[in-house]
Amino acid sequence: MLRLLTPTQAAEFLAVTPKHLLELTNEGAVRWVNIGLEGKRPTRRYRQDDLAEFIAKRSQKACRYTESTANQNTPMISSFSVVDFPVPRARATSARRNAS
């Protein structure tokens, strides 16, 4: 038999706050059943199957930013060399002295 969950129970099932569940419901992301009277404020209930479907749709394998980069073959196009800063300064200083 199908059991309907109250908003509090459904929020606990999804591990979210009831306010967040209401936002998801209003956006149409989570399906709900109206058990209230017509013309009055709706009384929302949630089916466990619909909540499980919501979880399945939102599940992800891995974050695209943390996937392994070990298989990327990016060639190194830059090179580096060690620069000894006192040597160019000494050359510039001696060149000024010789010019005077």
Ranges assigned E (strand) in the chain: 4-5, 33-34, 44-47
Three-state secondary structure call for residue 27: helix
| pLDDT given for residue 89 in this prediction | 75
Task: Return the residue matching tokens 């000024």.
Answer: 96
Q: Can you state the percent helix, strand and coil of the chain, rounding each to 5? A: 45, 10, 50
Alpha carbon distance 98, 74 (integer Å)? 48
Q: Which residue has the higher pLDDT, 8 or 68?
A: 8
SS3 34: strand
Lowest mean pLDDT among 19-23, 40-44, 72-76, 77-81: 72-76
63/25: higher pLDDT: 25
Please state the pTM of the whole predicted model. 0.57
Q: What is the pLDDT of residues 12-50, one digit of tens each?
A: 999 999 999 999 999 999 999 999 887 788 899 999 999
Q: Which of helix, strand or coil describes residue 56?
A: helix
Q: Is 18 helix (H, G, I), strand (E, B) or coil?
A: helix
